[in-house]
């Protein structure tokens, strides 16, 4: 607890009040004394206190009545009750009524300090939690979905309509469009906002471990299972679970997932006990799941279970008018974070941004603005270096179709093929099997092309 703790002591016994004042003051606390609940309420109205320490039984009024009034008017102020040895039932009643703790008279100095410190620490932790929730809401709240184009306005309306329901939501969009941010916005606008938000990237977890990651396992269920593990569904109980890249799970896991989506029940690996959870599922993918169903790579019943409400996030190239708004948003964000005075981007730089194709979508734009803010020493960013100006791994929408005069057709096609493969690897976060499926070739064929073109897979920078 930072700062000097302000303690209000309430007791009709003058000797008890003075003894408590001496002991607490020696610990650096600021102590105010009151001999009656009415006097204590007057003190609370005049100044804030970090804790109230009150006797239970006093003439004319009781500590329990004071507790009730403090809980109503100052709910963040903990109340510790003091009671006589023969009135333990008073302490039980006080705890049921919301007291932070209780002490039985005669009170030892050590016990007094332990109980007070514990109550103050709990108050501090609750205050930190409130602040953390405020910061999380500020970061992931609805207001962070930046854009004013008609397609984005429609998306906002759809999010507002679905957020406060229990419906499963499927988010569809290219890599970098902001699917996770949208999932956070749905969660923090729902009735589950105070519950956990848990994310699992289905594509980043090996197939052999995904079942344990989602549903957990018992101790000894398999080699290396040295303790019980709660899976993501249990961790998200009472909140929201984001299943990112849902299109990457295999047929076995699709069956398992369908069951828990239908009835909220599953079994940990190695257990015969059924676990019940209350979880709202939001799934996201950059795949066309309807096509995956037609091509027998994704179960139709799971698709229809996920596809209760589908929200499609447009790529940045389809909402170029939003680029100035996004740029301003990221300028303010990263200038404040990095203590920079950048407040504007020049016209020539903005025109360059609006002409660019943005294969990495909003995430790519954000990273570029962050880098520019960090590197610039001026108030205005007059120029920007876009990836295709110093790399050959990204294709611009206005790139010429024909090769330059000194380049042969074969050289031009090989360079283009290299750019396409690198782009596919980036989109797949380096997972070659996914990149091969994206390009419609076998993994062995992709490996052959990577070797033929001399692509250094380990040197590619993935987002």
pLDDT tens digits, one per residue of 282-329: 999 999 999 999 999 999 999 999 999 999 999 999 999 999 989 998
pLDDT-derived band at 131 (thresholds 50, 70, 90) equals: low
What is the reported pLDDT for 33?
95
pLDDT tens figures, 44-59? 999 999 999 999 888 8
Q: What is the C-alpha to C-alpha distance for residues 17 and 361, in angstroms, rounded to an integer? A: 66
pLDDT-derived band at 390 (thresholds 50, 70, 90) equals: very low
Tell me the three state secondary structure of residue 310: strand
Angstrom CA distances, 181 to 125, 141, 313, 346, 427, stand at 27, 9, 11, 28, 18
pLDDT tens figures, 157-203? 898 899 989 899 999 999 889 898 899 889 988 999 889 999 999 98
Is the distance from CB of 32 to CB of 49 less than 8 angstroms?
Answer: yes
Residue 284's closest CA among 202, 218, 404?
202
Domains of the chain: 6-135 (3.40.50.2300), 147-314 (3.40.50.300), 317-390 (1.10.8.60), 409-459 (1.10.10)
Q: What is the C-alpha to C-alpha distance for residues 214 and 313, in angstroms, rounded to an integer? A: 26
Placement of tokens 């990577």 in the chain: 450
What is the reported pLDDT for 313?
92
Q: What is the C-alpha to C-alpha distance for residues 92 and 28, in angstroms, rounded to an integer? A: 30
Bridge partners, residue 32, by sequence: 8
Bridge partners, residue 345, by sequence: 381
Tokens at 412, concatenated: 């031009």
Tell me the three state secondary structure of residue 320: helix
What is the reported pLDDT for 457?
79
Tell me the three state secondary structure of residue 321: helix
The pTM of the whole model exceeds 0.85: no
What is the reported pLDDT for 280?
95
State the average pLDDT for the chain.
85
What is the reported pLDDT for 392?
40
Tokens at 407, concatenated: 């380049």
Is the distance from CB of 348 to CB of 378 less than 8 angstroms?
Answer: no
Poorest-pLDDT segment among 19-23, 110-114, 204-208, 228-232: 204-208
pLDDT tens figures, 58-104? 888 888 999 999 999 999 899 999 987 666 777 788 888 889 998 98
């Amino acid at each position: 607890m930072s700062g000097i703790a302000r303690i209000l002591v309430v007791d009709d016994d003058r000797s008890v009040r003075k003894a408590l004042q001496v002991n607490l003051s020696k610990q650096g606390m600021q102590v105010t004394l009151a001999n009656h609940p009415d006097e204590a309420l007057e003190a609370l109205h005049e100044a804030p206190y970090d804790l109230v320490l009150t006797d239970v039984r006093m003439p004319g009024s009781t500590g329990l009545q004071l507790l009730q009034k403090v809980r109503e008017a100052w709910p963040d102020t903990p109340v510790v009750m003091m009671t006589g040895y023969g009135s333990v039932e008073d302490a039980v009643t006080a705890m049921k009524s919301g007291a932070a703790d209780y002490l039985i008279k005669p009170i030892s100095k050590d016990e007094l300090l332990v109980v007070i410190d514990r109550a103050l620490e709990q108050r501090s932790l609750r205050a930190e939690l409130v602040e953390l929730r405020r910061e999380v809401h500020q970061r992931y709240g609805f207001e962070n979905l930046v854009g004013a184009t008609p397609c984005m306005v429609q998306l906002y309306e759809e999010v507002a309509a679905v957020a406060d329901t229990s419906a499963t939501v499927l988010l569809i969009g290219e890599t970098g469009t902001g699917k996770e941010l949208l999932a956070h916005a749905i969660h923090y606008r729902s009735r589950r906002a105070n519950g956990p938000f848990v994310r699992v990237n289905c594509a980043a977890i090996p197939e052999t471990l995904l079942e344990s990651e989602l549903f957990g396992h018992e101790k000894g269920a398999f080699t290396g299972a040295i303790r019980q593990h709660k899976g993501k569904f249990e961790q998200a109980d009472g909140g929201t679970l984001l299943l990112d890249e849902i299109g990457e799970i295999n047929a076995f896991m699709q069956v398992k997932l369908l069951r828990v989506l239908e009835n909220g029940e599953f079994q940990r690996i190695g257990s015969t006990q059924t676990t019940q959870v209350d979880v709202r599922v939001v799934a996201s993918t950059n795949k066309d799941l309807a096509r995956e169903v037609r091509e027998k790579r994704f179960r139709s019943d799971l698709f229809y279970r996920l596809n209760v409400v589908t929200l499609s996030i447009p790529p940045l190239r389809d909402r170029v008018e939003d680029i100035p708004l996004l740029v301003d948003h990221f300028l303010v964000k990263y200038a404040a974070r990095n203590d920079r005075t950048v407040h504007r981007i020049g016209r020539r730089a903005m025109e360059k941004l609006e002409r660019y194709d943005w294969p990495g979508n909003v995430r790519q734009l954000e990273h570029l603005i962050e880098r520019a803010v960090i590197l610039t020493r001026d108030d205005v960013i007059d120029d920007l270096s876009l990836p295709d100006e110093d790399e050959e791994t990204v294709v611009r929408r206005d790139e010429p179709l024909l090769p330059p005069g000194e380049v042969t057709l074969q050289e031009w096609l090989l360079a283009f093929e290299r750019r396409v493969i690198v782009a596919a690897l980036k989109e797949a976060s380096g997972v070659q099997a996914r990149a091969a499926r994206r390009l419609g070739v076998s993994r062995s064929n992709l490996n052959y092309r990577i070797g033929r073109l001399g692509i250094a897979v380990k040197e590619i920078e993935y987002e």
